A and B are shown apart, each in its own frame.
Chain A
Amino acid sequence: MAMPLESPVTFSNVGKIKWWQRGIFASQTGYVLLALAVLLVIMHFASPYFFTEGNMQNVAKNFSFIAIATLGVTFVIITGGIDLSVGSMMCFSAMITSMVMTELSTPGSPAGALFVHMAADGKTVLANVPGLILLVSILAGLGVALIGGLVNGFCIAVLGLSPFVTTLGMLSIVRGLGYVVSNGRGSFPGGPDADYFYALTSGDILGLPVPFIYLVVLALAMAVVLHHTSFGRHVFALGGNEKAAELTGIPVVRVKIEVYVICALAAGLQGIIISGWLGSAPANMATSYELNVIAAAVIGGANLAGGIGGPLGAIVGCVLLEVIRNGLVLAQVSSYWQQTLVGVIIILAVLVDRIRSRMI
């Protein structure tokens, strides 16, 4: 149906937007990244310990502990939703993972017989297939997160409940379930596969903490999904104008359910990783982490009104929070100040963005 052009299009009265006024340079993420760089320089001069290898590893590990969940919640925030249940989901997934692992590793239990046998000395428990218990228990942990995400997505997309209320309810439901299944006690990863579990969650590869490696891989995957697949495009469209998304035939319900599932799975994975580092999954694990996760996403430039956000912003937000926490410790400031400072930074980051968008 191509129609012949009478003459090529000319742009006589529409100026081209300058490079520094678009892309990352015009985004909150850009400004926060700049602030982070400045902060790093200040830290370098303030404390000789800051840029030591040990401290850098510490920082990388610590921010990785909330950053994977932040990637997940960023998906939800881009669509204009919110997920408050991430903290509880982290705990519940971790708990189920260690409980399943312990249960399957107990010789004589109904499920255990399939997976383990006793060594000849009658004391050591050996796995029938090395790693299988680990795989099954991690899948079980992610499975409960998947169900939680599906329920969130179903209530929000199909029943039309508000994301805030639904996930606030889910926060309580999942935390409660965690107490129910564990009787309020913590659970510990145990059995013959426990060493693999610790290696996969809190080990190092070439000096890099593994959680950090997972984070980088997942962030790259997220960047590709958001900017180079139609799913990602639909996620942004949903946050920009939900009605338009519906009118243009985007499967709005499906996309919404998918983002809540992604978010819950990210939280579940994050919880499992944290429990490996802690060595246990206590019933009060990751309490109120949802606030840190959402704060990191918002500081990094995700807009709670929807339509804006990305993996770089999520990571920058997490790094900024961790550098501040780390800096306060090194500067021997009471760590109680951290929360206050985080609040100030959330407001400042959003304020700077508001001032900038008014100037253009």
Chain B
Amino acid sequence: MTSADVTPVLELSGIGKEFGAIRALHGVDMHVLPGEVVGLMGDNGAGKSTLVKIIAGNFRPSHGEIRFAGDAVHFSRPIDARAIGIEVVYQDLALADNLTAAANVFLGRELKRRFGPLALLDHKAMAARALELFGELRSETRPDDLVKQMSGGQRQAVAIARTRLSNARLVMMDEPTAAISVRQVEQVLGLIHRLKEQGVAVMLISHRMPDVFAVCDRVIVMRRGEKRADKPIHQTSPEEVTALITGAKEAA
């Protein structure tokens, strides 16, 4: 997996970001290999979110270069990042409450059938595919139910199902296990395993140490806008990661 001849799906070099006088990120180098699950950890304000937003195309980096599958890329909008195969599951899930689960899964890339000059939505096909995706997630979610009426876990399933629609090569998950039941945490972690089996790289942004140690191959710790550690998971321990996050240990 870590052999040098595999092209990293994502490679960042010297990424920095300033907001006015505030330096949110400084000199971040990192890479993610295909089929690798990388945990991104850090306290609030450590720069995790900024980093994720740069990779997802929400912000442009002030410095540094992003390479995707070996090619340098520049995103001006999130849709650019999505077009080349980067999907994000946002912490607030980015769902439209007034639409059904299936409508949310297919939002912005609806399936259509042509009737002469008209392209009408193919409700049946979308519902069927959404049900399939929820099945893979082992989530009890009906495609025709409104998101408004759903539990936290179901909403999470809808947001994750959305990333499964395209052939994403890198899925970033922002705190996917923060607000759901224990059983559904298991399901989400199971899904991460399945993505990994198919060669999809996953970046897991999480505060939950057990989840990170359960699924990640490698953990990256951020502190004060800099990368402080980048270690295979079996060479570190929750205690060491906690120390790195809080600053008790400067770097590893």
Footprint of B on A, CB under 8 Å? Answer: 1-3, 5-6, 8-14, 16-17, 22, 224, 227-230, 233-234, 236-237, 239-241, 243-250, 307-308
Chain B residues in 8 Å Cβ range of A13:
140
CB pair A244–B132 under 8 Å, yes or no, is: no
Contacts of A17 in B (CB 8 A): 145, 149
With A9-B135, A12-B140, A228-B120: A244-B95 Cβ-Cβ less than 8 Å: yes
- How many interface residues does chain B have, given as a range? 35 or more
Residue in A2, A5, A236 whose CB lies within 8 Å of B99 = A236
Given A9-B140, A237-B96, verify A228-B121 contact (CB < 8 Å).
Answer: yes
A1-B198, A17-B149, A224-B120 given; A308·B98 CB < 8 A:
yes
Q: Which listed residue (A6, A11, A228, A245) contacts B140, Cβ 8 A?
A: A11
**Are B98 and A236 touching (Cβ within 8 A)?**
yes
Assuming the contacts A1-B198, A2-B132, A9-B131, asked whether A307 and B96 have C-beta atoms less than 8 A apart, the reply is yes
Residues of B within 8 A of A233 (CB): 99, 103, 107, 110, 121
Verify A11–B142 contact, CB threshold 8 A: yes
Q: Which residues of A contact B120 (CB under 8 A)?
A: 224, 228-229
A248 touches B107 (CB 8 A): yes
14 CB-based A-B contacts, threshold 8 Å: A1-B164, A9-B135, A9-B139, A10-B140, A233-B107, A236-B99, A236-B103, A245-B108, A247-B94, A248-B107, A249-B79, A249-B82, A250-B108, A307-B98
**Minimum Cβ distance to chain B for residue A287 (Å):** 34
Which one of B98, B135, B198 lies within 8 Å of A5 (CB-CB)?
B135
Asked if B142 and A244 make an inter-chain contact with CB atoms under 8 angstroms apart, the answer reads no
Q: B residues within 8 A CB of A249?
A: 78-79, 82, 108-109
CB-defined interface of B63-98 with A at 8 Å, one 1/0 digit per residue? 000000000000000110010000010101111111
Q: Is the C-beta of B175 less than 8 angstroms from some C-beta in chain A?
A: no
**Are B136 and A248 neighbours in the complex by a CB distance under 8 Å?**
no
Q: Does B167 contact A (CB under 8 A)?
A: yes
Q: How would residues 89 to 130 of chain B score, 1 for a CB under 8 Å from any chain A CB and 0 otherwise?
A: 010111111110001000111101000001111010000000
**Interfacial chain B residues near A227, Cβ < 8 Å:** 121
Which single member of A9, A10, A12, A241 contacts B96 (CB below 8 Å)?
Answer: A241
> Closest residue of chain A to B148, judged by CB?
A240
Q: Is B50 an interface position by the 8 A CB rule?
A: no
Sorted from nearest, which 9 A-B pairs have the closest CB atoms? A240-B96, A307-B98, A244-B94, A240-B98, A248-B108, A249-B79, A249-B108, A230-B110, A14-B140
Q: Whole-angstrom distance from the CB of B44 to the nearest CB of chain A?
A: 21
Kindly list chain B residues whose C-beta atoms are within 8 Å of the C-beta of A247. Answer: 78, 88, 90, 94
> What's the least CB distance linking A3 to chain B, in Å?
5
The distance in angstroms between the C-alpha atoms of A14 and B138, with both chains bound, is 13
Bound Cα distance A3, B193 (Å): 12
Contact A240:B140 (CB < 8 A) given known A230-B121, A233-B107, A248-B107: no
Nearest B residue to A13, CB-CB? B140
By a CB distance below 8 angstroms, the chain B residues around A236 are 96, 98-99, 103
Q: Pick the most buried of A10, A243, A248: most chain B CB atoms within 10 A of its CB.
A: A248
Known: A3-B136, A249-B109. 8 other contacts (CB 8 A): A9-B131, A236-B96, A237-B107, A244-B93, A247-B88, A248-B107, A249-B79, A307-B98
Q: Which of B95, B136, B164, B167 contacts A241 (CB 8 A)?
A: B95
Identify B194's interface contact among A3, A22, A229, A308, CB under 8 A: A3
- In Å, the complex CA distance between A1 and B131 comes to 15
Name the residue among A14, A17, A224 with the largest chain B CB count within 10 angstroms.
Answer: A14
Query: A329–B110 Cα gap in the complex (Å)?
Result: 49
Chain A residues whose C-beta falls within 8 Å of the C-beta of B131 in the assembled complex: 9
A9 to B154, CA, bound (A): 13
Closest to B123 in A: A228
Select the residue from A17, A240, A307 with max chain B CB neighbours within 10 A.
Answer: A240
Give A243 to B92 CA distance when docked, in angstroms: 10
Residues of B within 8 A of A246 (CB): 78
- Chain A residues with CB under 8 Å of B167's CB are 1
A134 to B198, CA, bound (A): 64
